[in-house]
Amino acid sequence: MKVYTLNHRSIVATVFVCSLIIVDVESAALIEAAGETGSHEGGIDLTAISSYHQIVKWLGHISETYPSTVQIHDLGRTAENRSILVVEIGRAAEKPETSSPADARKQLVTRPSVFLDAGTHGREQITVTIALRLISKLIGAITRNETSQFTEVKWYITPLVNPDGYEYSRNIARSWRKNRSTHPGSSCTGVDINRNWRVHWDSDEPERVPKDTAGSAGNKILSSVAWLWSSFLHPENTVRQLGTMTPCSELYGGPSPFSEFESRSLSQFILNLTRVPAERLESCFSLHSMTGNQELLFPYGYKIDRVPDYEALNSLARDMTREMAKVAGRQYKYGGVAETLYQSSGLQCDWIYSVAGVNRTFVVEVADNFRIAPAGLISKAFGELWAALDVLLKA
């Protein structure tokens, strides 16, 4: 308690000020159950939204503190000169006990790897903190020499895909979604990074697909007819698709596929991961957030049709959502993007599935209010992600 005496124009008043401490008991319990402290050495709060500079500083700290466990890959600079960083986490590979390079190659054991990203859309700030929490927990498990499916995997985590949009949302316009790039001929700023991937870009009409995947003339005609029929049945999807062509729309897909540094650099990094010796990129996760619901999704997004291994992905998603519900009682809808959420083109998940060839590709839409994310909301969503990954890695 603090006591202040105020004297103004012969009026004397004594004011007693008590400090009020609000404890988020539910959040604290979830953090304790997850084996975390809520913050990590290096001065970052893993229950709150941090600035870009705080995140970069903390990532630098953990890479210096745990050099045998953590490596940082800088993919380059955005339109506003910020870095996109990928955090590589894993136990150091054991060196083969041989002096022969040929024998050493034979002794290499292929281990699975997982790629995960967050912060693709500026306003989805909660996903960035969730990814940072995941980084912290993985480092803790590995440095404590824990043995689990989590510590036997190589992780590649991009906690902030869109740093420009994130900072603009954090400081200026909370609901900002796109990046902050500009293009000739338009007075509007920004492109939706998740509409900018070179896969059925800007439309699911076949002529928009890269030539090597467009198919025959007959297939083009059939696909065009299917697109028109889909537009008739689902006019809301047509409106959404048209939005990807409008520069001032928050869904704008850009002037061309991979016109944006963020999508272009990430796609190249993911392709490189599929070629890493002694590693096998098995799964990709992309964290997003939405209001009013939570969902676990997989391809396709550009069309209602189901992917060839739909039954396997749907079964895995069902098992993951079942475990996710045990964390905080929240039910996640699951299924293909187009059939469960909405139809859209140029999506990252479709590109990873169809071009990079990673079948286990999922999009997690966590619940968000797009205001100030309370610690409890972050903790629940992180617990649900961890539960989903636990099922995935055991499958």
Give the whole-angstrom CA distance, residue 309 versus residue 294. 23
Assess whether 365 carries a catalytic annotation. yes
Q: Please answer whether residues 86 and 118 qualify as being in contact, where contact means their C-beta atoms are separated by less than 8 angstroms.
A: no
| CA 127/CA 366 separation, integer angstroms | 8
Of 124, 260, 262, 365, the active-site residue reads 365
Q: Which residues have a Cβ under 8 Å from the Cβ of 3 and sit 6 or more positions away?
A: 14, 15, 16, 17
- Please state the three-class secondary structure of 182-231 as a single string: CCCCCCCCCCCHHHCCCCCCCCCCHHHCCHHHCCCHHHHHHHHHHHHHHH
Burial (CB count <10 Å: 0-12, 13-18, 19+), residue 305: middle
In one-letter notation, the amino acid at residue 90 is G
User: What spatial distance separates the first Cα and last Cα of the chain, rounded to whole Å?
Assistant: 55
Show which residues are catalytic: 365
